[in-house]
Amino acid sequence: METKTDILIIEDDQFMRDLIALSLRDAGYRVVECSGQRMQHLHDVVLPKVVIVDLIEPKRSSLETIGTLRLRFPAALILAISGYFGVGPVMADAAIRQLGVDQALAKPFSCNELVSSVKMLLDRLPDD
């Protein structure tokens, strides 16, 4: 049986992962969460439309993480989050171009910014 999931959150910080998940669930999205280290253990039934990923992982580079996600979830849009991105639209645009992601958010971001970014990404997808 195949389950469709709107959002996959990959974040090592449990507090941040919980906050992101709660914000998106409150906005009506179905969410699956995991730490970056557990990403390879996701079952094949997880088919996200959007992957939210914190790019700072101890054992792999940002480009390696993005490449793995593109192979694993080719139809998903990727929203990269990081405390190391500069703040502002120019810096976010630079991160998007350099990393090959669909959207970037610098931490700290508000719950409204997060939900708006996810909605904007989902609006780009064709209707099922």
CATH number at residue 35: 3.40.50.2300
Residues in a beta bridge with 7: 31, 50
Name the residue with higher pLDDT: 4 or 113.
113
| Model pLDDT, residue 30 | 93
The predicted-structure confidence for 60-119, as pLDDT tens digits, reads as follows 677 888 888 888 889 999 999 987 766 555 566 777 777 889 998 888 899 999 999 999
For residue 96, count other CB atoms closer than 10 A to its CB: 17
Give the structural domain span for 95: 3-124
| Model pLDDT, residue 1 | 43
| Model pLDDT, residue 34 | 82
E-assigned strand segments in the chain: 3-10, 31-34, 46-54, 77-82, 103-106
For residue 15, count other CB atoms closer than 10 A to its CB: 8
- Residues with Cβ < 8 Å from 117, sequence gap 6 or more? 79, 103, 105
Count of CA atoms in the C-beta half-sphere (13 A) of 50:
26
The predicted-structure confidence for 12-48, as pLDDT tens digits, reads as follows 889 999 999 999 999 999 999 887 655 655 655 578 9
| Model pLDDT, residue 61 | 75
- Supply the pTM of this predicted model: 0.84
The predicted-structure confidence for 38-67, as pLDDT tens digits, reads as follows 565 565 557 899 999 988 765 667 788 888
Domain count, the chain: 1
| Model pLDDT, residue 29 | 94
Q: Which residue's structure tokens are 């409150």?
A: 26
